[in-house]
Structure 1
Amino acid sequence: MKTALIQQKYHGSKETTVAHTVAQIETASHNGADLIVLQELHQTEYFCQHEATRSFDYARSFREDLAFWSSVAKRNEVVLVASLFEERAPGLYHNTAVVFDTDGSLAGKYRKMHIPDDPGFYEKFYFTPGDLGFEPIDTSLGRLGVLVCWDQWYPEAARIMALKGAEMLIYPTAIGWFDEDPEEEKTRQKESWTTIQRSHAVANGIPILSCNRVGFEADPSEALDGIRFWGGSFVCGAQGEILAQADDRSETILTADIDLKRTKEVRDIWPFLRDRRIDAYADLLKRYCD
């Protein structure tokens, strides 16, 4: 399976950004990509840097956006993983990943389960936690375990997707650092981000595709200077080995070939699922063990 991750910056408006994304998808498809992954909230700026009710307007086109990206998937005959702002009802919104099959049909969707709330990442203001659970999405290419950004820090989410038969994990992402942070801290943050996801690949014996945005986006409220998204999109194999990785500043189409047959080979030599002590994990259902 040839995969492509579209790592890009925000181009100043939804219309210009979407046009750029479509051109990148067409290029990736022309070069043989079967599966194309877009970054988190790829149509717009990362509006969660501040709390503004006017940003909810982005979600009102959710149905039109579904139809548009469906047509893009169909026209390019690819499985497409998109990341959209969903208005479910007035006052009820989700950060939703949507998967389209090669014929443009809606294969399934996933609503982001873990919602952060940190300086510059005020997502709890915008997004209701997902209620669809951790359910893999079946496509013509296989069963995809799609999660979103903050979900990538949680081994429980990755494990459940794997236990339900996901053949790979996919993370549309929007993460970056603040320019004023020390270089040592920036390095620690990015290495932690890469390491935790590679560990999910190792622990579950399946590939990982993580697609992050890139470029600097100023904070409209001016409470902070803004976020410099660190790119670094990557694909790793079932033992956590890096198959392809983008740099931290360039827009790029990152491609990698994935051999799904390796999952059996890896799990046969590292049978972590066999040796799980499911009789001893009840404490995982507690917030904290006092």
Structure 2
Amino acid sequence: MVFVAVVQMKSSEDKQDNLQQSVEYIKQAAAAPNKASMVCFPEFQMAFSPSTQRASELSKLAETIRGNFVTTLRRAAKADRVEVLATLYEKAVGNRVYDTAVVISNKGTITSVYRKLHLYDALGFKESKKLIPGKKLVGPAKTAAGNIGVLICYDIRFPELSRLLTAKGARVLVAPSGWVQGPMKEEHWQTMLKARAIENGSYVIAPDQVGNIYAGRSMVIDPFGVVCLDMDQREGMEIVEIDLAKIAKVRQSLPLLKNRRTDIYRLETR
């Protein structure tokens, strides 16, 4: 059994304010009676980027993974002996930036860097105006919560990504998100999170943004599709118990991964 803290936050346009709040959440998670082994933040943790913000303005706000934003979180992770999954706008080429998630160990080291592969160019949005997609699949990261596969928001809509991560050894899928409100959007969110959990026999941890244009509803789903957490519209942090033994139990009784016809079809990456 391990405890994981899920942060549902309303990021402002003030990067320093969001960073200060993030450090406080890490302290709270470490000081809780059921101390969290890991704290998971949503997408756009660094700042809310309104539609009126130009790509050049967001690029100026962005940092490298060695910049102050991540460095401060690394110090907090080390000081409080807790792992952290954080997100940032990472500097890239030109005026566009990467939408990046980093996994930080409880010693303050960066153990994984994932750049969002699928940009949200759908339903009236065009993330590619400001963002640039990642160029590679990143395998699972070893954490106290088991091997975690990281995907970001819109990636949830592409089941092959979560299956590839699972095939590479992920037992828990973590999907930091900024899920935009809209018709049927909450239904899509809940349905796909449950589907990704059930089809892979994995926990799904999905911290989301709330307020501004976002839907909230941060969730944790167990490997059999049971909802362990639904934060609705509450801003703040919740700590959830993750039963790693349940993953093996569910995968044994419902052996979807074993029953795949890999002699007929297979997932391949370059």
TM-score by length of 1: 0.85
Determine if the alignment matches structure 1 residue 54 to structure 2 residue 39: no
1:258 to 237, 242, 246: 242
1:268 to 252, 266, 269: 252
Tell me which structure has the larger Cα radius of gyration: 1
Q: Match of 2:44?
A: 41
Aligned-residue identity in percent: 29
Q: Which amino acid aligns with 1:266?
A: V
Offset at residue 13 of structure 1 (A): 1.3
Q: Match of 1:97?
A: 101
Offset at residue 120 of structure 1 (A): 6.1
In 2: Cα distance, 1:119 partner to 1:199 partner: 21
In 1: Cα distance, 2:138 partner to 2:36 partner: 26
The 10-residue stretch of structure 1 (11-20 or 67-76) with the greater mean CA deviation from structure 2? 11-20
SS in 2 for 1:158: helix
SS in 2 for 1:117: coil
In 2: Cα distance, 1:89 partner to 1:11 partner: 25
CA contact (8 A) 1:4 1:28 kept: yes
SS in 2 for 1:261: helix
SS in 1 for 2:40: strand
Matches within 5 A, 1:172-187: 172-177=176-181, 185=183
2:229 to 244, 253, 261: 244
2:204 to 208, 216, 219: 208
Offset at residue 159 of structure 1 (A): 0.3
Determine if the alignment matches structure 1 residue 161 to structure 2 residue 165: yes
Q: Match of 1:128?
A: 132
Q: Which runs of 5+ in 1 are unaligned?
A: 179-184, 217-226, 286-290
Q: Match of 1:23?
A: 24
Offset at residue 280 of structure 1 (A): 3.0
CA contact (8 A) 2:30 2:82 kept: yes
For residues 18-52 of structure 1, what are the alpha-carbon distances to aligned partners after superposition, in whole Å with 9 as ceiling and x for unaligned? Answer: 21222122111111111110010202113466543
Q: 1:244 to 1:141 in 2, by over 3 A?
A: closer
Q: 1:49 to 1:264 in 2, by over 3 A?
A: farther
Q: Match of 1:63?
A: 66
CA contact (8 A) 2:56 2:96 kept: no
CA contact (8 A) 1:50 1:122 kept: no
In 2: Cα distance, 1:57 partner to 1:261 partner: 45
Matches within 5 A, 1:178-197: 185=183, 188-197=184-193
Q: Which runs of 5+ in 2 are unaligned?
A: none
Determine if the alignment matches structure 1 residue 171 to structure 2 residue 172: no
In 1: Cα distance, 2:51 partner to 2:27 partner: 29
TM-score by length of 2: 0.91
SS in 1 for 2:207: strand
In 2: Cα distance, 1:126 partner to 1:69 partner: 24
Q: Match of 1:288?
A: none
The 10-residue stretch of structure 1 (98-107 or 66-75) with the greater mean CA deviation from structure 2? 66-75
In 1: Cα distance, 2:10 partner to 2:160 partner: 30
Higher helix share: 1
Higher strand share: 1
CA contact (8 A) 1:244 1:255 kept: no
Q: Considering only aligned residues, what root-mean-square deviation do their CA atoms show, in Å?
A: 2.0
CA contact (8 A) 2:203 2:220 kept: yes
